[in-house]
Structure 1
């Protein structure tokens, strides 16, 4: 199990003030997604670094931009970070992981496996393990036990209801078909 991802922790610490009281819930969500991803598609050190960056930024725009239409600001944060660390060559992969993580249907077969795996990992967590994409109940339970919800799903429900009241014809702008 991935229990310590220093890069992920550093990135989240840098945005702790934006996350406020949701910092632990978001951190645990990020670790759950990273662990589900790694169980589905383990890789090398570069892939773990890309995963840490993608998982840190994938929903962060909710808090940094104050919007539930958060994919564009989340992608921009990741892009800016990759440029700042001299990894602009990774932008296409990381951007695709973030851009498509709320897609409802499978990615086309020609898409890099990391994008589909990231999508599945996030759906495992958002569905509270109802969707598992081949992972066992025990794996999902163990990851969830190691990284408790800490109010993350309750916060998402609150934000969804808030968005629904303000934008009844566009309640989930981050969803992709």
Structure 2
């Protein structure tokens, strides 16, 4: 469910900002599918580099290697604590905000409550937040000197 919600919220935010998400639909879809993949499969907190590598490999297999830099930035900065303003900001920032609103239901990032409610009905959370919290806690206990390696300034 998280993948679908982030995908749809990202498209909504791009449209809301006056952009057209259609030309970047493949990049948005691949970034959404792979952005937390290694977190889920490897249950590690240092999951951004392997998630980017898996997404890049997938794009190369599809013959879409040219999308890898943008997708890599979308994945690599989706936990940035401040707004992203560098290359591909038109994709990275809406993606970052979409992930933020889905995980923490943060108001004021541009995704209306009605859209969030509809998306959660279509794509239920099914224990996702609990899984995230458990994995974060276990990771912090295993590596207390590095409790959140996925965060970026």
Please say whether Structure 1 and Structure 2 have the same fold, judged by a TM-score greater than 0.5. Answer: yes
Partner of 2:4: 31
Within a 5 Å distance, the mapping from 1:116-135 to structure 2 comes to: 116-127=93-104, 129-135=105-111
Unpaired segments ≥5 residues, structure 1: 1-27
**Is the contact made by 2:43 and 2:135 (CA closer than 8 Å) also made in structure 1?**
no
Q: Deviations over 1:78-131 (max 9, x none)?
A: 11111111111111111110000000100126643101110010001011x223
**Is the contact made by 1:123 and 1:131 (CA closer than 8 Å) also made in structure 2?**
no
Q: How many residues align?
A: 149
Q: CA deviation at 1:60?
A: 0.2
Q: CA deviation at 1:160?
A: 0.7
Partners in 2 of 1:110 and 1:92 — Cα distance? 10
TM-score with structure 1 setting the length:
0.78
Q: Deviations over 1:47-90 (max 9, x none)?
A: 11111111000000123444221001000001111111111111
Unpaired segments ≥5 residues, structure 2: none
- Of the candidates 105, 122, 133, which is equivalent to residue 157 of structure 1? 133
SS in structure 1 at match of 2:109: coil
TM-score with structure 2 setting the length:
0.90
Partners in 1 of 2:13 and 2:67 — Cα distance? 21
Partners in 2 of 1:39 and 1:81 — Cα distance? 25
With over 3 angstroms needed to count, the CA separation of the structure-2 counterparts of 1:85 and 1:153, relative to structure 1, is same
Work out which structure has the larger RCO, using CA pairs closer than 8 Å and 6 or more positions apart in sequence. Answer: 2
**Is the contact made by 1:32 and 1:125 (CA closer than 8 Å) also made in structure 2?**
yes
**Is the contact made by 1:65 and 1:73 (CA closer than 8 Å) also made in structure 2?**
no
